[in-house]
């Protein structure tokens, strides 16, 4: 018997088979969950459909999180198909590539707005639509963050500010939704090779630095992040909300 037998999970943010979101979705499926996925555009839809088919997903829906009408439509479709939700994974983040290089002080107004809208506000928009379905099952809302929200990481720039806002949103949403039994948490994973990380200048150097200095002297694997997500979205994490769980081989505890 799996830890998510009979549970229903909606996953936003699978870009390809290297995505952290995909590793989490696979683990949920192995533990018995029924899955639904969203995609923001046709290019990602083409990569997502065969992956979703491999886990026999119930729904594959368009959802550009910068458009309220698309968020509303996707949640309406989930509500019509399932009625209730046990878990929502929000793995959505974006900043224009040109903002992830050079000096943070040169961040443009439009780049700042885009990063905060897609990477932080979208969690609020998703939570609002998911609330009644999650409340019915005392479910969990999970998002993904990074250590750049807490400390300065070269070239992470405006995305670090967006992730800091995202982590604050987790705490405020946990307070708002907790009375209904809904838990809201985040995982702060160590650096992983994903489509998003490919846009960060000097990412290979970041990987080597992390491996050399983390207490476990290694980088983490997507499967380890997925295991933490399973904990937070299953009965194992029933008493945990408003938290940012670091899955980074201990890197965040090192000061020097």
Average pLDDT estimate for 232-246: 98
In the predicted model, is pLDDT for residue 103 greater than 60?
Answer: yes
Segment 115-145, tens digit of pLDDT: 999 999 999 999 999 999 999 999 999 999 9
Segment 158-202, tens digit of pLDDT: 999 999 999 999 999 999 999 999 999 999 999 887 656 555 666
User: Do 20 and 222 contact (CB within 8 A), yes or no?
Assistant: yes
Among 78-92, 193-207, 219-233, where is mean pLDDT lowest?
193-207
pLDDT score of 206: 80
Residues annotated as catalytic (active site), given as ranges: 146, 156
Instruction: Tell me how far apart the alpha carbons of residues 48 and 30 are, in angstroms, rounded to a whole number.
Output: 18
Instruction: Label residue 42 exposed, middle or buried (CB < 10 Å: 0-12, 13-18, 19+).
Output: exposed
pLDDT score of 192: 84
Domains of the chain: 8-246 (3.40.50.720)
Q: Are strands 8-12 and 87-90 parallel, antiparallel or unpaired?
A: parallel
| pLDDT bracket for residue 212 (50, 70, 90) | very high
């Amino acid at each position: 018997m799996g830890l998510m037998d009979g549970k229903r999970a909606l996953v936003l943010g699978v870009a390809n088979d290297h995505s952290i979101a995909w590793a989490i979705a696979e683990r949920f499926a192995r533990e018995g969950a029924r899955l639904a996925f969203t995609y923001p555009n046709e290019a990602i839809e083409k990569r997502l459909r065969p992956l979703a088919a491999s886990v026999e997903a119930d729904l594959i829906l368009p959802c550009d999180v910068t458009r309220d009408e698309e968020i509303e439509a996707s949640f309406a479709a989930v509500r019509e198909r399932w009625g209730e939700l046990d878990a929502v994974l929000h793995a959505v983040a974006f900043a224009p590539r040109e903002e992830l290089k050079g000096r943070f002080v040169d961040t443009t107004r439009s780049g700042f707005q885009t990063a905060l809208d897609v990477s932080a506000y979208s969690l609020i928009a998703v939570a609002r639509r998911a609330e009644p379905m999650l409340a019915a099952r005392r479910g969990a809302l999970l998002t993904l963050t990074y250590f750049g929200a807490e400390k300065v990481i070269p070239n992470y720039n405006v995305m670090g500010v967006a992730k800091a806002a995202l982590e604050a949103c987790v705490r405020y949403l946990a307070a708002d939704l907790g009375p209904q039994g809904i838990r809201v948490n985040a995982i702060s994973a160590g650096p992983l090779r994903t489509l998003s990380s490919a846009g960060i200048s000097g990412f290979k150097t970041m990987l080597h630095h992390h491996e050399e200095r983390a207490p476990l002297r290694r980088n983490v694997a997507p499967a380890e992040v997925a295991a933490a997500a399973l904990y937070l979205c299953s009965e194992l994490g029933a008493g945990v909300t408003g938290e940012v769980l670091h899955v980074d081989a201990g890197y965040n505890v090192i000061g020097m």
